[in-house]
Structure 1
Amino acid sequence: MVTIDVAVLLAVIVFFRLRRRTEARSRSDEKLTVVIVLARGILIAPTPAGQGILNVMGQLASGVTQAGR
């Protein structure tokens, strides 16, 4: 039996959608891409990988804030 992780499937969809030229996208196409990216973020957030990404981004933001002082 083959299983597909929904977050991985959405990542593949986003990859192929973002490969298209910017000029070829309509406003509704861009909105759909944003919705797909947000859905992927919601799916990955509670996972250990999502928590790791959150920690890295928090450290990065902290470093940028301290560098600006």
Structure 2
Amino acid sequence: MVLTINLALLLAVIVFLRLRRRTEARSRRDEQLSVVIAITLGLLLASTDLGQGILDVLSQLAEGVSRAGQ
């Protein structure tokens, strides 16, 4: 039996749990760790089909907004 862990899902849970904490008690190092984890999650999602789908939707939305502004 092989146990696999989706790293993107694990990082998403970690980001969610870290963002739920109170912000007053965070140190600079704690904030930097949160940023690194969030960037890593973004890079992992960007290479997946889900990430490409989100990119396509956002680019279509941006095109629609720019056309509406002209």
**TM, length-normalised to structure 2:** 0.84
**TM, length-normalised to structure 1:** 0.85
Q: What residue ranges of structure 1 are gaps of 5+ in the alignment?
A: none
Q: Report the Cα offset of residue 68 of structure 1.
A: 3.1
- Aligned equivalent of 2:21: 20
Residue correspondences, number: 69
Give the AA of the match of 2:4.
T
Q: Report the Cα offset of residue 55 of structure 1.
A: 0.6
Name the SS for the 2:4 alignment partner. coil
Of structures 1 and 2, the larger Rg is shown by 2
Structure 1 residues 66 and 26, CA, compared in 2 at 3 Å: closer, same or farther?
farther
Q: Give a deviation string over 1:4-46, Cα, whole Å, max 9, x none.
A: 1111110010000000112122222111111111111111111
Percent identical pairs in the alignment equals: 64
RMSD over aligned Cα, in angstroms? 1.3
